[in-house]
Amino acid sequence: KISGRRETSPQHTTQRDTMTLSILRGSAQRLPRVLWRRRISTSPPHNNHHPPIAPLSPPVAEAVVPSPVDVMPPFARYSHGSQVSLTPTTRLVLVSGQLGISPDGSIPLDDAEAQADVCLRNVRAVLAATHGGAMGMGHLVRLNAYVTDRAHLPAYMRARDRMLEGEEWPHGPPASTLMVVSGFARPEFLVEVEAVAAA
């Protein structure tokens, strides 16, 4: 005896399951079209009081090319710096990693502090070559440095502090990272410095 429950035949169950699957498949096929129609609809949604957002134009990036008298030309196909115009009055400059090599090709061998001095002078020269008005170390917002040995950390920091001495940042000094790496493209290099500046 079965009470309160209705028995269904296997055939009826199979037919019902088939109909359910058919309905689900049809819904899944129609759903993307509905979403797509909503996405491309030009009519504003109801209760939306926000003005439409204007499309943003891509930022314009220009290579920063310092004089070879100040910085040795790049070793490969890259720029010493890239300047991005974020707004008509706001510029962001990214300075490629600068190595301890002078414009005449000389490298202070086995002297991390002297190499750091050269790296930072190169960074300063790249910033001075920016378009729309020269930048200086006071425009730095980030300074990243890499050395090949922990023993070189104090030498780099002395050179950095000496280069930044006298600079003023009303809202605080720039962000900074100092890392130990296994080496650079040439074994004689001990330090590399890259930077980001804004004005």
Q: Which residues contact 139 (CB under 8 A, 6 or more apart)?
A: 93, 127, 197, 198, 199
The residue-averaged pLDDT of 142-154 equals: 98
According to the model, what pLDDT value does residue 38 have?
47
Residue 35's pLDDT is what? Answer: 44
4: Cα within 13 Å, side-chain hemisphere? 0
Q: Could you give the CA distance from residue 186 to residue 132 in angstroms, rounded to a whole number?
A: 35
**Structure confidence by residue, pLDDT tens digits, 74-86:** 999 999 999 999 8
Is the predicted pLDDT of residue 71 greater than 50, yes or no?
A: yes
What span, in angstroms and rounded, lies between the C-alpha atoms of 171 and 142?
14
- Give mean pLDDT, residues 88-98: 95
Look up residue 82 and give its two tokens.
């890239």
How far is the C-alpha of 55 from the C-alpha of 191, rounded, in Å? 42
Nearest to 196 by CA among 66, 92, 63: 92
Question: pTM, whole model, 2 decimals?
Answer: 0.71
Return the closest-CA partner of residue 101 out of 86, 82, 84, 122: 122
